[in-house]
Chains A and B, each alone.
Chain A
């Protein structure tokens, strides 16, 4: 097991990019390698040691034996764990854009808030965010129609707009509230939201499941009432209580399911 600890000593106003510092690439790096490394900052590179104190303990034969601990406010560090395939990254602070983007395996824990695009195009692995995140969590790349396809995102705080846009697999679990258009264009996968939702979950969804335990503001017209179901089982998870089930979005001939907590959304009945 190898533990790599980076402790922030100077926060850059221009974002640093960490997509080269993933367990898959650094599992055989020693302290001296990190000290030699130049990190991208804007359109230039600067020594990693300008920004962090570095400690490396133990040995790893592969990325799965690596634990990276990022201590401090990483709110100006983008692409943390981007494209990682194995190992673990713990951020003890906030993370900037694209945290866990395109990750295929391993685990990232953010003990703070994450900016937009967390878990973009995720294919596997686990991303846990203890705070809030902003727009496009678990989405596709801009312009693309192929979003997150595997893995799991757990969000203990609230999510922004267009959560799980173009979702085509995997699971997103939001313990807090969620803003508009969760699961827009999704065609597979499962989004669970424990808190309240402002409006329009599942816009243009083709397939997949969305479950809202809290209160919904406005439902889209493209969702057709199906039935009230008790204790539904979705993707192998069972939920106690009564839920209003809708099908949609019929605007795109969608076959998706939207479940709303019946207790909290009585006015829709």
Chain B
């Protein structure tokens, strides 16, 4: 089937197209340069046309989500809709049901989402949930930062072993790249503690976060994975944590990049939670300037923000000790889980109220980072869904980024407390994003950071993943009309995925199964075999499952998109 999207105003940052009036053509699911005269015309005159959105960091599938849904029925009752058209009923606000997750991303014009924390032991479950999420392709990132094998080899400096282990494990659990969460800290939580800073050794293994992050970064570049290491550093959410963040970013500076598309060797996730100065919550101040300055001066770093959206949400992370701290802080119910030899996790509900000083401060820090990081190719829009807020707030964040007036209004009329500007630099920043920068931070930069060679651009040969938004960029003043911006980005006029129209005028009109994107490393088979021989005795001794039941078999990924990588190339 051939289509032509006629007369749209196209923003395609990867191809340096910023607001040009042109036609976009696609055929059989791919973007093409030419279509025949039989092509079906979709008139999008003067509407914004962008590649479909790419979310680089969210938590949408896996055991954490299920525990969250089970222990927060009060969240599930929000956002309940009944079955309508092609859609099943929806439920949930911060932890929506699986179908609702797919529909809601689709309505915002998104086509690809990363599930950013997959415990390998629970990978099967994660893939089962991905199967239940329609309309968006999902990229799972398995956790390696507290894995016993990795900790041991990092201590011994055995990079080859780690590389072979990662190559094997990505195939075993069908994962895309390396996620590191509070390296050594979650393992220390198994001993009832945490680590502080990147040079604090974990009990027993006696290895530091610096050694683990460096080892995994070296292994990542040795294999030449499409994505860099994806790091949630130590000390999340602690006042005075920005030096830990900067030191973590700096510790991999000397490692040479080995990936064709991306520029970075480290991706810092939810930077907002890692950019605080001060010593306690009494004297906390923003460290956004220091973190942003480091990112501005160092091209080996990219980040996403984790913007606080001022909602009641559910925090869930593999950073077990941090969740316990949070539970002590707000007194709300807490769930905790240990994942054997691999990682842990915690869940706590949280109310980011603009009437309270700390959430207001966090809101300010997130926006300050967005405005201070100069190169939009180094930053992505996220809320670390659902940790800082649900992903359905992306359009609202876009409206804040595009309107200094709106931000000032929120600070002036008390929607956020004084800490939003007295403890941050937000009040002094009047930068406003334009549509091209928005297109970059919501799709193009994320696609580049992940090394995707089939999405995030409107290049001929790429997937026909396209979003059309019902606004005329030449007509609207985003600075003055934030509500219109939020509405348009939240209700796509068209969301097209692999050439199929999934959303029309903000309504889901078609439901398709999602794809799972994972990385298959070739050319490392010998080393992998040796490493597996070393791993198996420990595996058999300590894991509660048999290896045969641990592996993710092919039927867990019925629609795979396999990225083949030649190790070292």
Interface residues of A (CB under 8 A from B): 140-145
Contact = CB atoms under 8 A, between A and B. Distances in A.
B548 interface: no
A142 B333 CA distance: 13
B332 A145 contact: yes
B72 interface: yes
A58 B421 CA distance: 58
A143 B332 contact: no
B333 A141 contact: no
Contacts of B77: 141
A214 B77 CA distance: 39
Given A141-B77, A144-B74, A145-B332, 11 more contacts: A140-B74, A141-B73, A141-B74, A142-B73, A142-B74, A143-B71, A143-B72, A143-B73, A143-B74, A143-B75, A145-B333
Interface string B51-77: 000000000000000000001111101
Contacts of B71: 143
A142 B74 CA distance: 6
Nearest to B82: A43
Contacts of A144: 74
Contacts of B75: 143
A142 B76 CA distance: 11
Give the 6 A-B residue pairs with the shortest CB-CB distance, closest first. A144-B74, A143-B73, A143-B74, A142-B73, A141-B74, A143-B72
Contacts of B72: 143
Contacts of B74: 140-144
A4 B77 CA distance: 31
B330 to A, nearest CB: 10
Contacts of B333: 145
Nearest to B76: A143
B334 to A, nearest CB: 12
Contacts of A142: 73-74
A192 B333 CA distance: 28
Interface residues of B, number: 8
A141 B77 CA distance: 10
Nearest to A145: B332
A142 B71 CA distance: 9
A39 B71 CA distance: 31
B97 to A, nearest CB: 16
14 contacts: A140-B74, A141-B73, A141-B74, A141-B77, A142-B73, A142-B74, A143-B71, A143-B72, A143-B73, A143-B74, A143-B75, A144-B74, A145-B332, A145-B333
A141 B72 CA distance: 10
B355 to A, nearest CB: 16
Contacts of B332: 145
A255 to B, nearest CB: 15
Contacts of A141: 73-74, 77
A147 to B, nearest CB: 11
A141 B78 CA distance: 12
B315 to A, nearest CB: 15
Interface in B294-337: 332-333
Q: Which of A140, A143, A145 has the most CB of B within 10 A?
A: A143
Nearest to B332: A145
A142 B77 CA distance: 10
A86 to B, nearest CB: 24
Interface string B322-357: 000000000011000000000000000000000000
Q: Which of A140, A141, A144 has the most CB of B within 10 A?
A: A144
Contacts of A145: 332-333
Nearest to B74: A144
Contacts of A143: 71-75
A145 B74 CA distance: 9
Contacts of B73: 141-143
A141 B73 CA distance: 8
Nearest to A206: B331
A143 B71 CA distance: 6
A105 B77 CA distance: 23
Nearest to A140: B74
A140 B77 CA distance: 13
A137 to B, nearest CB: 18
A144 B77 CA distance: 11
A144 B351 CA distance: 13
Interface in B20-47: none
A71 to B, nearest CB: 31
A43 to B, nearest CB: 9
Nearest to A252: B331
B557 to A, nearest CB: 33
A58 B73 CA distance: 42
A9 to B, nearest CB: 29
A140 B332 CA distance: 14
B221 to A, nearest CB: 45
A142 B75 CA distance: 10
A84 to B, nearest CB: 19
Nearest to A141: B74
A144 B72 CA distance: 7
A144 B74 CA distance: 6
Nearest to A144: B74
A141 to B, nearest CB: 5
B468 to A, nearest CB: 36
A187 B274 CA distance: 34
Contacts of A140: 74
A199 B333 CA distance: 25
Nearest to B70: A143
Nearest to A142: B73
B72 to A, nearest CB: 6
A144 B333 CA distance: 9
A226 to B, nearest CB: 25
A141 B74 CA distance: 7
B450 to A, nearest CB: 36
Nearest to A146: B74
A140 B73 CA distance: 12
A205 B325 CA distance: 23
Nearest to B71: A143
A136 to B, nearest CB: 14
B248 to A, nearest CB: 35
A185 to B, nearest CB: 11
A140 B74 CA distance: 9
B297 to A, nearest CB: 45
A39 to B, nearest CB: 16
A142 B332 CA distance: 14
A19 to B, nearest CB: 13
A140 B71 CA distance: 14
Nearest to B73: A143
A178 to B, nearest CB: 25
Interface in B58-107: 71-75, 77
A142 B70 CA distance: 11
Nearest to A121: B74
Q: Which of B74, B77, B333 has the most CB of A within 10 A?
A: B74
B349 to A, nearest CB: 8
A143 B333 CA distance: 9
B438 to A, nearest CB: 36
A141 B332 CA distance: 15
A145 B75 CA distance: 12
